[in-house]
Structure 1
Amino acid sequence: MRIFVLSCAIALILSVSSALATLTNAQRLARGLPVLPPKFARALPGYARTPTAAGANPSTSPVPPKTYTGRILVKSYDGGTYGHLYNWASGINGINFGSSSEDLHVSFTVSRSGKGLIDIMAINPAFTGPSYIGTTSNDTLAKGSPTAVSFGNVIRTPVHSPPVPVGQYNADESAIWTFDPTTYELKAHYVNLNGHKAGTTIAYKIYDNSIFFVGDIGAYNAAQDDPDYLVSPITFYLDLTG
């Protein structure tokens, strides 16, 4: 008998509790009961927890850029090796055919993807003045045109900037380079005065051991009267040795 009475009492309590649980807050206030706490969307039945709510792993930090240091190796259009850039006391131009102690050493920083224009800085300059390397004049390069722009040590200039006047005779661009982290090739991308990027070929004149940039190497050579002034295309590569 006592067990029966106890069972009935428990059932009655559960029934009352269940009924109270279904009351709205207004009904609970009318009966002098405390209001229920609000239910948030993530606590409702059928709501899928988000990765944040489920304690997802923190986001991965971006990969930092990478800095390279070495010498610039000059190769012919057919892949033959000429040598490294010469560290002249008067500036940067030409290939070093002497001791490796006279090679120019450089440093630059690129994203891990290798994309984007970069500056290249000389880190053992034998010359005075700015220590970046790039273009030092402001002619317009274009297909069908024999014009050329000079190569040398320059001030640092903004990415995509046309030539920046420096002193009475120079107009510099430094951020003209791209680097391929797979092949280690360095390519030049000169920006004309009008702000448009020009197709740019690195040219070498063996007659006076000079390096400069042209937009059309065929047009440049066709405009030369002296065969000694003919040029050939060359490519730059980063050499990590030495």
Structure 2
Amino acid sequence: MDAVSAADALTSPCKNASHSHKTHLSRLPLTTTVHANPHSFSLSLQYDTMQASLLKVFSLLALAAISSTLASPLPAPSLAVRAMLPGCTTANGIEICNNTRRSYHEGPSRDRVPAGLTNGERLARHLPLKPPTRRSSARRAVASPAAPPANRGYIQVLSVDDNGNPTGVLGYVSRTTYAQRQYLVQPSIDDALLVAPSGDRNLGTLNSDIPSLALLGLVQSREDTSSGLAKGISNYLYLASTEQTPPNATPQNVGNSFSSVPGGPLPSESAVWTHDPVTHTLKAQWINPDGSPAPTIAFTHGPAIYLGDPEAFYQAHEVPVRKIAFVFMAM
């Protein structure tokens, strides 16, 4: 293929544009006119020269166009194209993505900050710290010595698990004692014992069937030869009526509902109660003869109420026991 043919192949768009003119020139009978007439020969030569010149011009134009196309880079994308995210469109200079709209001047959209981040997690995400929390100047509620929110109320008995969490309601401390000695659990509030705070850590009994002894307290068991309690020791206490003893005092030989039993009198304590103002739980704390606070866990065997170490009690007596909690219910 000669240079003219190569240029013609590269400039196919130009070739198509001048096709009819080239066809007219190529049909001229150059060879026949050379022998027929000198004037015709001169005319044919002029046509041949014109044809070659036109082909060269078209070839040069085509090569220039190709060089320009190869040398020029693609136009830079507009700001809208560069900022566009997949699945987004633009309208009036605003990017629309997933039904949310923002101006391009606002910069990239931010992810929603998860709630509940600590200050350390916020710093790791380059976020500002949380604003300081205003703390109340009020004092934190703590258990107070036998000071229920009302003057009078009943003592509800709840069953609890090993962690002290309530599992059900068993009933109430009964106003009617066993043989006028020991308090029991009974289901109805109609026969519940009514109590009221009476001095430091004391609970007075208002409708007990033992009117001569007006305080609810703890009394040493008849089975035990000492009043000391400890974990793993089967000694236990009765929930009973007693005369008053000082707060934090060791067991005292004062009058109580077991004073007349064989082997008595038995030592007792009255100032043993604390009240939680939030949960309204009543807890009893026995003080050992050496002045140490003893593990004083309330539990039942049948309807009878005891305090001490329920596991040690079970090992010693081989009877079913249930851990309980006392809750003050104001009238």
**Which residue identity lines up with residue 211 of structure 1 in the other structure?**
I
Local SS of the residue matching 1:106: strand
**Equivalence for 1:234:** 324
Whether contact under 8 Å (1:92, 1:133) holds in the other structure is no
**What CA distance in whole angstroms lies between the structure 1 residues aligned with 2:170 and 2:265?**
30
Q: CA deviation at 1:91?
A: 4.2
Give the match for residue 6 of structure 1: none
Deviation at 1:148, TM superposition (A): 0.7
Q: CA deviation at 1:119?
A: 0.5
CA spacing shift, 1:67–1:177, aligned 2, 3 Å: same
Q: Please give the alpha-carbon distance, in whole angstroms, between the structure 1 residues aligned to 2:176 and 2:250.
A: 26
Aligned partner of 2:191 in structure 1 is 102
Q: What do you get for the CA RMSD once the two structures are aligned?
A: 2.3
User: Unaligned 5+ residue runs, structure 1?
Assistant: 1-63, 111-116
Deviations 1:183-229 (A, max 9, x none): 100011101111111121011111xx100111x2222212223xxx2
Q: Deviating runs (4+, > 4 A) in structure 1? A: 64-67
TM-score using structure 2 length = 0.46
Corresponding position of 2:249: 161
CA contact (8 A) 1:85 1:92 kept: no
| 2:135 equivalent to 1:68 | no
Residue type of the alignment partner of 1:170: L
Per-residue deviation, 1:133: 0.8
Q: 2:169 aligns with which of 72, 75, 81?
A: 81
Using the TM superposition, give the Cα deviation of residue 101 of structure 1 relative to its aligned residue in structure 2, in angstroms: 3.2
Between structures 1 and 2, the one with greater helix share? 2
- Match for residue 122 of structure 1? 205
Higher strand content, 1 or 2: 1
- Number of residues of Structure 1 aligned to a counterpart in Structure 2: 165
Aligned counterparts of 2:304 and 2:250: Cα–Cα separation in 1: 23
The one-letter amino acid of 2:327's match is: Y
User: TM-score, normalization: structure 1?
Assistant: 0.62
- Aligned pairs for 1:143-222 (under 5 A) are 143-166=231-254, 168-206=264-302, 209-214=303-308, 216-222=309-315
Q: Secondary structure at the match of 1:190?
A: coil
The one-letter amino acid of 1:220's match is F
Larger Rg, first or second structure (1 or 2): 2
SS of the residue corresponding to residue 202 of structure 2 reads coil
Greater relative CO, 1 or 2 (CA 8 Å, sep 6+): 1
Distance 2:157 2:291 in 1: 28
Instruction: Output the CA distance in 2 between the equivalents of 1:140 and 1:194.
Output: 8
SS in 2 for 1:73: strand
Task: Kindly provide the CA deviation profile for residues 43-70 of structure 1, in whole angstroms up to 9, marking residues without a partner as x.
Answer: xxxxxxxxxxxxxxxxxxxxx9965310
